[in-house]
Structure 1
Amino acid sequence: MLTDQMAVADDQSPAAAIHAAALLRAAVRQTDRRGLEVSIARLRLLASRDGHQGTASMALSTALHVRYIWSGDTAALAESVAVAREAVRAAGSDVSLVELTNAAVGLQAWYGETRDDIVLAQLTTLIRRFAVRDEPSGGGPAAPHLDLAEVLLDQHAGADPRMREALKSARQAAEAEGGSTALAYVTFTLRLLAKQRGRSALLDAAIAVARAAVAAVPGSTTALAQLAWVLLDRHKLLGDADALDESIKLGRAAVDHGDPENGSRPLAALPLMSALSARYATTGERADVEAAAAVGHRCLQRLRVDDPRQVPLLAGLADVWSEILERTADRVALDEVSSACRRAMALTSHDHPYHADLLVRLSTALHRWYEHTGDQSAAAEAISLARRAVVRSPTDRADVMSHLASLLITQFRASGELALADEAVELAERAAAAEGRENAALLSNVSVAHQTRSEVTGALSDIDRAIAACRAAVSAAAADDPRRSTYFANLSRALARRHAITGDTSYLTMAVEVARRTVQVLPAGQRDEARHLANLCDLLLILAAAGEPDNPDIYDQLQEAVEIARMAVRLTPPGDPNHAARLAQLGLALQKLSERNGEPQALDDAITTSRTAVDMTPLDHGTRAGRVAHLGHAYALRAQVSQDGADAREALTLLRAAAADRSATASVRAGAAARAGRLAASAGDWREAADDLAHAMTLLRRLVHGTGHGLTTERALNELAGVAADAAACAARSGDLPRALSLIEQGTRMRLAQASDANAGTANLPALHPTLAHELREVAEALARDDAADDLTRSPAEAAATVAHRRRLDERWQRTVESIRALPDFADFFGPPSPASLLAAAHQGPVIVVYVSSICSGALLVTPHALQHVSLPELTESQVGARANAISTAESASLDAVVADTLAWLRDTAVTQILAALDGLGTYERLWWMPVGTAAFLPWHAVDDVIDRYVCSYTPTLGSLRLARDRAPALPSTHSPGRAVAVAVAYSETESQVLLPGVSRELAALVALLGEQLRILAGADATRDGVLAALDRYPWVHIACCAISDPARPSASRLMLADGQLSVSDVRARPLRDAEVAVLAACAAGRSDAGASAAAVHITSAWHLAGFRQVIGSLWSVPDAAIARLMHSLYVEVTRRGHLDATAVPYALCASTRLLRQQRVNRPSVWAAFIHVGV
C-alpha cells in the first residue's frame, strides 16, 4: 500500500520527497519495518537524483538511523552519517538547523559505537557551523545560562576548548531559533565527557545548558528529560540529594508532558525510572523501585510487541530491579531483571549495540545473586554471559571487558584458579588500551586485577604494575574528579601490599601518606569519607606495629590512629551497617595506644568501646569473633596490670568463645586460642593452656597444608612455630611429657609439611588415595583464600553468605580429615603422633628435642624407654634469634668471634644442663639433635663437651628419622667393580666458568679416592637435566657449586647450574628410591638471609626431607679451601674399606671436624660449620 501511495507523486517533483518523508514518519509511528525499507529504497533514489540535497537526503539519513536503532545495523548508521555529512557539505553556507541537527544525531550515535575522539571532534566542528548563521539582535532566555556555562568551563583547568566553542555556537543557535534541540545535543556531549572524565565542572556546564533548553521551549519533553538525566548524573557523581529530588520532579513532568502520538512519552520515562531507583539505593524504600517499575510497564503497554523502543524501556526496567540486588538476595528482583533482559535480547540481533549491554546487565544481576547466596551456577552463568558480551560487542568495548575482568577476579578469589586471574589481568589491560588514552577508572581496574593476582603469586611484578597503574590513574584524573579519592585509595593499598610482601617499611610509609592524600582530595560531603579514614587508621596501626620498639614516632602514629578512628565513628551514624566496625577499630587503636604508653584510661576506653562494638555485631556475623578476640585481649592486658581475677576470667571466656566461632576465619580463631592458652599459662593453668594452644595448632594446620596462599601461609607458619613450642612448654609444666613431645613433633611436621611433605601420612596420601588428597588440598586452599580476603561486605545478606560459606568449609575440612583417618595406617593423620612411635626413633641413640618458648624453653631427652625434661629458662626467643642473625650477618673477619661467643653461650645456657641430665640415662656414642625453629641454625654439635664425647647428627623431626631408617640402604656393602655409585656436580658462576681452586682440588681428591665409583658433571655438563638424571641413577651425590638457601621457603633453596637453577622442589618431585647420601659442599649452602623466622628450615634438612637418608651441609658459608680440606678428610674416612660406606658418614664427619679443630682451633667458623642430617 505504501508503494502505491508513493507512486502517486511525480518522482521529479519536490512534492515526491516531502511525500516520501511523510510516509517515513508513518512507518516509524506504526513500527512498520517493511514500510521503513520501502521508504529507504525510495528516498535513496530521490536523494541520488537531487544530488544529495534537500528533504530527500535528510529523510534518508533519518530512515537509515531508524534502521540502525531497530536492528543494530552499524552499516546503516555509517551510511546515515555519510548522507547527512554530504547534505551539510552540499548546502554550504545555506545549511539549515535541521540539516545540522540531523548530522549531529548521526555523529553522536557513531561516537557511541566507536568512542573515537576524532568523531567527537567532528561533532563539535558540526555544531560550530551554527556560528555562521545570521544572529538576531538581543539575547534570548538561554543567554544568561549559556554565559554561566562558559564561565564554568573557562574556570575549569584543562577544560576541552572544543566544548567552550560548542557552547558559544549553541548560544547563537538558541538566540536565533530557540535552539532547544541543539542545546540538548550539547548537553548530551557534556554529560558524556563529564561521566567519562569525572569532571564536575563539565557536569555543571551540562546542567546549565539543559536548563537553557528547558527555558527555550517550556514544556518540551526532550528538554525536561535531558535536564532530569543530567541532574541524576550529578547525584550519582557527587551524592547531591537536592539534584536527585529535582531529577524526579522533572522526570514526572517529562512523562506528563509527553505526546503519546509521537512516541516521546515512553522513552521520556527512562530518567524518572532511573531517578526513583537511585533514591531507593539511598533510602532502601522498596516503594520507589515498585513505582519506577510501574512507570516502565505502563509505557511498555502502549507499544506494539515488536516496537524496537521496547528495548531501552526493558533495559531501564532491568536497571530498576537490579538496584534491589545490590542490597539483598531478592528472587523476585532477579526474575524481573532476567525477564526484562531476555525479552529485550529477543528484540535485538546479536550484533545490535544494545545486545552486549543487555548481556552485561543480566550478568551483573546474576553475579550479585552469587555474592549474596554463594550460588555457583549463578556465578558461572554470569561469566558466560559476560564472555558473550565481549564477543558480540561491535568493537573492543572497554566497559564490557572491564566487567568480565571484575567477575573473573571474584571467581579467582573463590576458586584460586590462577588462569582466571591471568585472564582478568589481560582483559583489564586490554580495556585500558582500547580506550586510546589514559582513562583513570580503567587504569584503576588494571591495578585491582594485578593486586588480586599477587595475593596468590606474591609476584612483585604484579604489585609494581599495580602501583604504576594506580599512579597513572591518579595523574589522569581531573582535579575535580570525585573518583580521584578512590584511585588514591587503590594506590595506598598497592603500596601497603608491597610492604607486606617485601617487609620494606618505606612502602608502608608511602601508603600512609597516600591514604592521607586520599582523605584530603575527598569532595565535601563525600559519603566514603569514613571508609577512607578507616583505611588510614588501619595503615597507621600497621606502621606502628612494624616499627622498632624504641622508635619515638610510634606513639605519635598511635595517637593519630585514635583521632582518625574517632572521626570515622563520628561520620558513621548508629544506623549505618559499618558503625560497629568503626567502633571496633577505635577500640583496637585505643588498646594499642594503652599498650604503648601504659595509660589505664585508654585501656578502659578501649574495653568500653570494643564491648559496644561486640554488642552491636550479630551473633552470626563473620567479623564478630575478631571483635570478641580484641575485647578479650584488652581484658587480658588490664588483668596483667590490675591483677584482677575477674578481668582474667572474662578475657579467657571471650577468647575461647572467639576460638570456637565457626563463623570466623581460621587465623582469627587460632589467634584467639593462642592468646587464651598464653593467658591460662600466666595463671599457672598448664593443662588448660596446653589444650588451648593445641586447638590453635589444629586451626593453623588448615592454612599451611599444600601450596599455601601467599602471605596467609607465611603468617600461619610463623605463628605455628611459636604456638607449638608454647603448647609443648605448657604440657611439660603440667607433667605430661609424652604430650609435650607429641605436640612439638606435630607442630614441626605441620610446619615442614607445607614445604616438604615431611608428615609420612601426608606424603603417602596422594599416591595411595589421590581423590582424598585432592579434596584435602582444595578445601585447604579455599580456607586460605577465605583467610586472605577482607571482611568488608556490602550488605547483611552478603555477610550471612560469607558466614555460611565458612561453616561449609569447616564441615568439609572436618569431614575430609575424618575420612582420611578412617583409612588403614592413617589413624594419626593431622593429629598428634603417638608417643610410643616417637620414642622408637631413639633406638640407635638419644634425640635431644630443643624448643624455644615465650613461656619457658626446654629440652626433651628422648630414649627408647624414657623421656626426660630439662627446663632452659635462659634460652629465650630474643637471644636465640639474635645469635642466629649475628652468625648469618657477620663479616668474614668477625665470624670466628661470633661463632666462638655463640658456642660459649650455648654451653652455659643449655648444653651443660642437657648433658648432665643425659648422663643419668646411660652411655651413648651417637646423639641426635632436633632443635626447633630458629634454634636449628645454631651449632649445637660443636659445643666443646658435645663434640668431644658424641658423634652428632641432626633430624628435622622424629618421624623423618624413622622413615629414613625404615628404608633399606641403597649402597652395596661391598665394592662392585666397574659400577659407579656416586656423582660429583661442580659448577662455577664466574664469568669464565673456571672452577674455583678449592673445588678443583676437591674433585681431584674425589677422583683419586673413588676412581671408577665416581662420575663427574662439571662446567657446561652440569645442567639441570643432567643432574636430575644423575639423582635417579646414583645413590651418592656430591654437590660442589654455588647454592642459595631460602630458609623461609626451603623448597625454593636451589643450586646454580650451567643452564639454570635446580630447586629442592625439583628434587622432591623425583621418585628418589635409592637416594642415600647428599654432600652439599657448596660455596654458599648456608643461610642466605639475616632474618629467618622461627618457621625457617635449613637447606640440609630440606634435602633430607626431599628423600636423602643422609645429608651433609654447612650452617654458614665456608671458604672453598677449607671445604676442600674437610672433604678430603671425610672421603678418606668413608672409603677405608675400599668403597663408599654410607654407614661411616656421620663418624667420618665427626672425625674430620675434630681433626680440623685440632689444626685450626681458633677458627670455629671453619670447623663448626658442617653438620650431618639423617640416620
Structure 2
Amino acid sequence: MLCCCFRRTGELSDITDAITAQRKGVEITPRGHADLPGRLNNLGTLLTIRFERTGELSDITDAIALRQKAIEITPQGYSGLANCLNNLGGSFTRRFERMGELSDIADAIAAQQKAVELTPQAHPDLPAMLNNLGNSLSCRFERTGELSDIVDAIAVLQKAVDVTPHGHIDMPSYLNNLASSFTSRFERTGELSDIADAIAAQQKSVELTPQGHADLPGQLDNLGCSLTSRFEQTGELSDIVDAIAVRKKALALRGFLLMHAHLPDLLNNLGTSFTCRFRRTGQPSDIADAIALRQKAIEITPHGHAGLPSYLNNLGGSFASRFKRTGELSDIADAIGAQQKALELTPHGHVGLPAMHNNLGGSFTRRFERTGDLSDIANAIALRQKAVELTPHGHANMPDYLKNLGISFYQRYSLTGNSGDLEEAISYFKTATISIVNSPQARLDAAQRWVRALMQYDPQSSEIIPAFDVALGLIATVAGLEQTVKGRYTRLGDKSGLALEAAAAACALDRSDKALEWLEQGRCLVWNQLNSLRTPLDDLRVQDATLAQGIANVSEKLDRAGSSRVQPHVDMSLSEKMSLEDEARTHLGLAKQWDALLRKTRALAGFESFLMPLPCSNIMSHLPESGPIIVINIDQHRCDALALLAGLDEPLHIPLTDFSIDKAKKYRQIFEDQLLARKLRSREVEVPLSLRGMMSAPIGENGEDLSVYRALRGLWDEVVKPILDTLGFSSVDQTSGEVPPRVWWCPTGPLSFLPLHASGIYQGSIRENVSDYVVSSYTPTVTAVTNRVKNRHFTDPHASGLFLTSQPNAPSASPIPGTTKEVQSIYKRAQESGVRVFRLEGGAMSVAACLERMQEYSSIHLACHGSQNAAEPLQSRFLFHEGNLELGTILRSNLKNADLAFLSACQTSTGQEALSDEAVHLAAGMLAAGYRRVIGTMWSIGDAPAQEVATAFYEYLFSHRDETSGSSFDGSLSAVALHHATQQLRLSLDDSEYALLTWIPFVHFGL
C-alpha cells in the first residue's frame, strides 16, 4: 500500500517506509519458508523503485543481490519464478542505465527472455514481461547501435500493447516505451513513419495518464524528445515549440523533487530543445537557457553516472552553437573542454561515441576557422575520421559525418592549398551525396558542397553534371509530398537558387540542354507537384485501369492533405493535437502509397519515365508555333538566355555578358523605391527624409541615375535587346494594324520581379521598347506553356462564356469604387457581342456561388481585392463581401473548362524574394488551377487605369471574334488584347515615371 501511494504521489517517505516494512517481513520469515522467494523479490522491487527516484547506487546493487538469491532458492516449477526472473532483469537494466556495463544489460535480457518463455500466453503478467524485455533490448540498442535489437524491441513492445486489456493501468507506460523505441529507430534510420508512430503513441500515453501521476513528467519529456527529433529532420517550427512546451511542463511537475534521479535528464533534454530552436531562430535567450539548464544537469549528476558523458557532450554543443552566432572564443573553448571530458568518460563501444567524436571535431573546426591554428584542424580531421569509422553501415547519421569530415579537409585546404586535402574533401562530399541512407537533407547539403568545390577548383570537371543531377533530384525529396504545402515552401527557403546555379554551370560547360532540364526540375517545385497530382491518366487507363484509378484516388487525397492539413500549435488541446497527428500519419502513408504506385507504373512498357523530370527533347517537343519561350537564368557567376524555338532540338544559348545578379537587384530596388515614393505621394503623408531626395531626383550617392528610366533602359540594353537581336526580331509598325510576334518570358531569381515586357528607352531622341518588337507573355516554367499546347483545349460548348464579378466593398479591405462600373461596362459590351455572359456582384455572390459559376463559365473576370500569402500560397485569396475565395479551394475544384482568368486586383503576380523561383503568387496559382491564360498585375494599380485597361482588353476580344463562334467566348487572343490595351493606356499618358508605373504592371501569363 505504501508503494502504491509512492507511485501516485512521488512522496519519498512512502517508499522508504515501504522498504523498512518489507525488510522486517524478510527478517522474520524462516529460511525454507515458501513465501521467502517472493518477499526477497518484493524487497528488491522496492529498492529498485527508490533507486529510480534517488539514483543511490547501493539500492540497485542490493536489489540485484536480493533477486538473485530469490531465484536461487525458488524450486523448479514454482509459479512465481517467471516473475522473479522478470524483476531481476529490470534491476540489471536499471544498473546498466546508471553504470553502462554491457554485461548488466546482457544479463537483463537473458533473464527477461526466460521469464517470457515461462509465462502462458493468456497470463495477466505477460504484457508487463514483454514490456520489460522490450525496454532492455531498446537500452542495449542505445548503447551498441545494433539494429536487430531495436527491431526486436519494437516487435516485443507492440505485442505488449496488443495483449494489454483496454483501460489497464499500465497501458500508458507500455505506449510510452513503444514510442521511445520508435524514436530510437527513427534516429538510426531516418524513417519518418517511425517518428510519426512514436508521437502518436506518446500522445496517447499522456492522454491516458492521470494528472499528478509520478510517470507523467517522464512521458511528457519523451514526447518532447520525439517532437525535437522530428523537428531536426523536417524543420517544422511547431514541433520544436511544442517540444519546449511539454518539456517545460515535465520539469514543472518535477520541480519540487530536487533530488529526483531523472531530474538531470529533464534539464538536459529541455536544453536540447532550446538549442534546436536557437539554431533555427537565433533567439539569444534560447541558447542562454539551454546552457544554464545543461550546466545545472551536470552539477546535480552523481560522479560515475552513465548519463554524464551525454550531458557534457550536449553542453558542448550548446556552447558551440552560441560561438557560431557570436564568435566569442571563450564559448568554443568551453565547448571543446566539455566535449573532451565527455569522450574521456564514455566507455569503449558506446553507441554515442561516433556523435561525440563528430561534435568535438566540429568544435575544433570552428575554432580553426576563427584562429587558423593548424593543430585544431588536424584534431578535427582525426576525430571526424574516427566518427566515420565507428558508425555502423546504414546509419542515418553517416551522410552527415562524411560531409563534416569533408568540410574539415576543405577548411585545411583553404589555408594550406594542399591538393591532397581538396581531393579528400571532394571524395567525402561525393560519398555522402551518393549514400543510400535515407537522409535527404544531409545528402543535399553534401551535394551542394561537392558541386561548389568542383566548380571553384575544376570548373570543367566531368563530375559536375552528375553531381548536380543528384542534388536537383534530392530537392524534391527534401520537400516531399508527405509535407503540407507550407512545409514544402519552408524547406525550399534556403534551397532557392540551386537550380539557377546548376544551369549556370551547365551553360559554362556548353550544355544548354542540361541547363533547361535543371531549371524545369528545380523551379516552381510545389506547383509542379500539384500538377503531377492532376496529370491526365487516359493512356494508363488503357493499359491498366485499376492502377490508373489507384493513382487518381491517392492523388486526390494527397492534394487535399497537402493543402488543408492544419499544423498544431501550443494552445491546442491534447486531443486536437492527437487528431492532427493522425492526419499527419495518414498523409505520410499516402505519400508512401504514391511512391509505390509510381514504381509500379514505371515498370510498365511505355511508362518508364512516368512523372519523372523530362529530358530536354521532351520539354521542347510541344513549343508554341507563334513565338519562342525565352528562359533567362541569373546567377552570381553568369547570366544566360535559353531561347526555345519550335523545330529545334536544343535551346539556343545566348550569353548575357553585360548583365549580372547585382544589376538585377539594383533595378528591382529602383522600382521598389519609386513605387513606395509614389504611394507616399498619393497619400499626402509626411515623407521620410531618406526618400525625399529620391522623389524629386532619384540620384545615388555617387551621382548614379536611380530612375525608373535607368532600370528600364538597363533591362533593354543588357537583357532584352541582345536576345531579340540574336533571334532576328525587328520593330513592327503597329499603326498599320500589324500584330507583333509572340514571346514568352521565363525569368528566374530577382529578374522574376522586373518588367521585361516594358524594358526600353523612354527618354531622348531615339526611343524604343520591347512592345515595338513583340507581344510579351510570362510563364513560371516552360512546361506550363508546353502542356497547354500539348493538351489541346476543347471547352465544353455549354461552358464557354464569361463570368463577371465585382466586390467593391469587401470587409477589412479598402473600397474599390470603380469595379462596379468596370464590370457593368464589360457586361453590356459582351451582351452586345452575343457572348454568353453572367454577372454577380457585391453581397449577392458567396464563395460557393462563385465556384459554381467558375464550373459553368470558361472565363472569369475578378474585380476585387486580392491577398497574397507567401508563407501558405494556397491560402492566398480573393476578398468577397461574403467570405474569401482561397486559391486552395479553386485548385480542388477541378475546373476542366478553365480558359481565361482576368485578375483585376492588385499585386496578383508579385512573388516573394526568398522563394523567387517558386512563383508564389495568385497568377501562377490560377495557372496551376487549370486556367490556360491569366491576366495579373505586378504591383498596385489605380481604379481608373484598371478600368481603362479592362475595357480596352475586352473591346479588342469582342471586336476580333470569329463570326462563326456564336455565343462562345475565346481567350486565345488575350495576350494581344492586353498588349493593345496597355498601349492604348500608355498613349493617353506622357512618358513620366509616374505614367510608366501606371501602365507597366499589367502582365499576361500562359498561352
TM range (shorter): 0.7 to 0.9
Q: Is the 8 A contact 1:369 1:378 kept in 2?
A: no
1:250-292 superposed Cα distances (whole Å, 9 cap, x missing partner)? 4456677899999999988876554345456677878767877
Instruction: Name the residue aligned to 1:1100.
Output: 923
Task: Give matches, 1:352-751, under 5 Å.
Answer: 354=125, 357=128, 360=131, 372-373=147-148, 383=158, 385-386=160-161, 389=164, 391-393=166-168, 398-399=172-173, 402=176, 416=193, 424=201, 427-433=204-210, 435=212, 439-445=216-222, 447=224, 466-477=243-254, 478-492=257-271, 504-506=281-283, 509-510=285-286, 513-522=289-298, 523-525=300-302, 526-538=305-317, 561-595=335-369, 600-663=374-437, 665-682=439-456, 683-708=458-483, 713-714=488-489, 717-718=492-493, 721-748=496-523, 750=525
* Aligned mates of 1:595, 1:1094 — CA distance in 2: 33
Which string of whole-angstrom CA distances, capped at 9 and with x for unpartnered residues, describes residues 675-723 of structure 1?
A: 2222111122254212211122223333445343789844663465433
C-alpha distance in 2, partners of 1:1004/1:1073? 27
Give the corresponding residue for 1:1113.
936
Residue 1146 (structure 1) aligned with residue 975 (structure 2): yes
Against the structure 1 CA distance between its residues 433 and 832, is the aligned structure 2 distance closer, same or farther, given a 3 Å change threshold? same
- Residue 943 in 1 paired to residue 759 in 2? yes
Note closer, same or farther for the CA distance 1:449–1:733 as it changes in structure 2 (3 Å cut): closer
Q: TM (normalized to structure 1)?
A: 0.66
Matches within 5 A, 1:918-933: 918-923=724-729, 925-933=741-749
Between the aligned partners of 1:870 and 1:361, the Cα distance in structure 2 is: 69
- Structure 2 unaligned blocks of 5 or more: 561-590, 681-693, 699-705, 731-740, 761-768, 962-966
Are 2:671 and 1:893 aligned? Answer: no
1:841 aligned partner: 623
The separation in 2 between residues aligned to 1:1134 and 1:364, in whole angstroms, is 74
Code of the residue aligned with 1:965 in structure 2: it is V
In structure 1, what is the Cα distance between the partners aligned to 2:317 and 2:894?
Answer: 47
SS of equivalent residue, structure 2 residue 166: helix
Distance 1:1008 1:1168 in 2: 27
How far apart, CA to CA, are the structure 1 residues paired with 2:537 and 2:322?
38
- Partner Cα distance (2:338, 2:657) in 1: 42
Distance 2:297 2:958 in 1: 76
Structure 1 residue 986 corresponds to structure 2 residue 792: no
The whole-number CA distance in structure 2 between the counterparts of 1:633 and 1:927 is: 45
Q: 1:756 to 1:256 in 2, by over 3 A?
A: closer
* Superposed displacement of residue 1100, structure 1: 1.3
Evaluate the alpha carbon distance shift between residue 884 and residue 272 of structure 1 in structure 2; reply closer, same or farther with a 3 A threshold: same
- Determine the C-alpha separation between the residues in 1 that align with 2:220 and 2:871: 34
Contact persistence 1:231–1:246 (CA under 8 A): yes
> Could you tell me which amino acid in structure 2 is paired with residue 631 of structure 1?
L
CA distance in 2, matches of 1:517, 1:947: 65
1:1048–1:1095 contact (8 Å) kept in structure 2: no
Q: CA deviation at 1:1162?
A: 1.8
Can you list the C-alpha shifts for 1:706-741, whole angstroms capped at 9, x where unaligned? 343789844663465433222222221112222322
Q: Return the alpha-carbon distance in structure 1 between the equivalents of residues 317 and 488 of structure 2.
A: 21
Q: Give the letter for the 1:1152 counterpart.
A: A
Secondary structure in 1 matching 2:934? strand
Is residue 1030 from structure 1 mapped to residue 853 from structure 2 by the alignment? yes
User: 3-state SS of the aligned residue for 1:1108?
Assistant: coil
| RMSD across aligned positions (CA) | 5.1
Question: Tell me, what secondary structure is at the counterpart of 2:437?
Answer: coil
Deviation of 1:1076 (Å): 0.8
- Name structure 1 gaps, 5 residues minimum: 1-107, 109-184, 293-318, 323-332, 349-353, 782-808
Give how far 1:1172 is off: 0.9
Distance change (3 Å), C-alpha of 1:273 and 1:196: same
Query: 2-side partners of 1:239 and 1:882: how far apart?
Result: 64
How far 1:960 sits from its partner (Å)? 1.9
Q: Are the equivalent residues in 1 in contact too, given 2:866–2:877 (CA < 8 A)?
A: yes
* Letter of the structure 2 residue corresponding to residue 1004 of structure 1: Q
- Over alpha carbons, which structure has the higher Rg? 1
Structure 1 pair 694–868 and aligned structure 2 pair: CA distance change class (3 A): same
Q: Residue 585 of structure 2 corresponds to which residue in structure 1? A: none
Alignment CA distance shift 1:837-1:580 (3 Å):
closer
2:778 aligned partner: 954
- C-alpha displacement of 1:930: 0.7
> 2 CA distance for matches of 1:636 and 1:1147?
55
**Partner of 1:769: helix, strand, or coil?**
helix
Tell me if structure 2 keeps the 8 A contact 1:851–1:932.
Answer: yes
In proportion to residue count, which structure has more helix? 1
Distance 1:198 1:1070, change over 3 A: same
Distance (whole Å) between structure 2 residues aligned to residue 589 and residue 1028 of structure 1: 57
Tell me the equivalent position of 1:40: none
Alpha carbons 1:750, 1:759 under 8 Å: kept: no
Aligned to 1:757: 532
Q: Which residue of 2 aligns with 1:1127?
A: 950
Instruction: Indicate yes or no: 2:772 matched with 1:996.
Output: no
User: What secondary structure sits across from 2:894 in the alignment?
Assistant: coil
Matching residue's letter, 2:826:
L
Q: Which string of whole-angstrom CA distances, capped at 9 and with x for unpartnered residues, describes residues 285-331 of structure 1?
A: 78767877xxxxxxxxxxxxxxxxxxxxxxxxxx7645xxxxxxxxx
Instruction: Give the number of equivalent residue pairs.
Output: 903
Change in 2 beyond 3 A, CA 1:263/1:917: closer
Partner of 1:912: 718
Residue number among 120, 123, 126 corresponding to 1:342 in the alignment: 120
Q: Deviations over 1:753-791 (max 9, x none)?
A: 23443996899879973546889999999xxxxxxxxxx
Structure 2 CA distance for aligned equivalents of residues 968 and 634 of structure 1: 55
8 Å contact from structure 2 (residues 175, 202) kept in 1: no
Q: Sort the Cα spacing of 1:671 and 1:258 in 2 relative to 1 into closer, same or farther, 3 A.
A: closer
CA distance in 2, matches of 1:418, 1:614: 25
Q: Summarize the Cα distance change of 1:690–1:853 in structure 2 as closer, same or farther, 3 Å threshold.
A: farther
- Alpha carbons of 1:996 and 1:488: their partners in 2 closer, same or farther (altered >3 Å)? farther
Kindly state the Cα deviation for residue 202 of structure 1 after the two structures are TM-superposed.
Answer: 7.3
Tell me how far 1:648 sits from its aligned partner: 1.9
Deviation at 1:483, TM superposition (A): 2.4
In 2, the alpha carbon distance for the partners of 1:540 and 1:780 equals 43
Change in CA separation of 1:240 and 1:741 when aligned onto 2, cut-off 3 Å: same
1:806-858 deviation digits (Å, cap 9, x = unpaired): xxx99997995585275436547424423364275253222221223344332
SS in 2 for 1:1102: helix
Amino acid at match of 2:379: D
Q: How does 1:63-462 map to 2 (within 5 A)?
A: 108=1, 188=3, 193=6, 228-237=44-53, 240-252=56-68, 272=88, 274-276=90-92, 278-279=94-95, 321-322=111-112, 333=113, 336=114, 338-343=116-121, 345-346=122-123, 348=124, 354=125, 357=128, 360=131, 372-373=147-148, 383=158, 385-386=160-161, 389=164, 391-393=166-168, 398-399=172-173, 402=176, 416=193, 424=201, 427-433=204-210, 435=212, 439-445=216-222, 447=224
Relative to structure 1, is the Cα distance of residues 483 and 709 closer, same or farther in structure 2, using a 3 angstrom cutoff?
farther
Query: How far off is 1:929 after superposition?
Result: 1.0
Matched, 1:1162 2:993: yes
